[in-house]
């Protein structure tokens, strides 16, 4: 979504908008709700979370707490991949 790279779906992290309009990382890739994909590159997460790209793709607004939680989760994912 942010970097525009074309890679296998399994190499991407799915973010999903839940019924209560929160955005969460979908570890299974099968949660119901509107989804968007980001790769593990830190720049991709920065771009997706910095502006409104993720909000636009998921058709929701991120509150500051939700945004911080996603930033923390993305840092954990990136560190775990290295």
Q: What is the pLDDT of residues 36-63, one digit of tens each?
A: 999 888 888 888 888 788 999 999 999 9
Centroid of chain to Cα 45: 7
Q: Which domain holds residue 43?
A: 9-81
Element (H, E) at 24: strand 23-26
In a domain, 26, yes or no: yes
In this structure, is residue 4 part of a structural domain? no
CB-count burial class (<10 Å; 0-12, 13-18, 19+) for 22: middle
Q: What is the pLDDT of residue 22?
A: 92
Residue 25 belongs to some domain of the structure: yes
Q: Is residue 3 part of a domain?
A: no
70 in a structural domain: yes
Number of compact structural domains in the chain: 1
pTM of the model: 0.84
**Region of residue 33 (left: phi > 0; alpha: psi -120 to 50; beta: else):** left
Q: Is there a domain that residue 1 lies in?
A: no
**Residue 25: pLDDT band by 50, 70, 90 thresholds?**
very high
Q: Who's near 43: CB < 8 A, 6+ residues apart?
A: 2, 3
């Amino acid at each position: 979504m942010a970097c525009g790279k074309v890679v296998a779906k399994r190499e991407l992290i799915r973010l999903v908008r839940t019924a209560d309009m929160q955005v969460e990382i979908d570890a299974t890739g099968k949660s119901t709700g509107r989804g968007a994909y980001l790769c593990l590159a830190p720049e991709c997460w920065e771009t997706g979370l910095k502006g409104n790209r993720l909000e636009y793709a998921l058709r929701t607004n991120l509150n500051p707490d939700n945004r911080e939680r996603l930033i923390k989760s993305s840092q954990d994912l990136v560190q775990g991949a290295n």
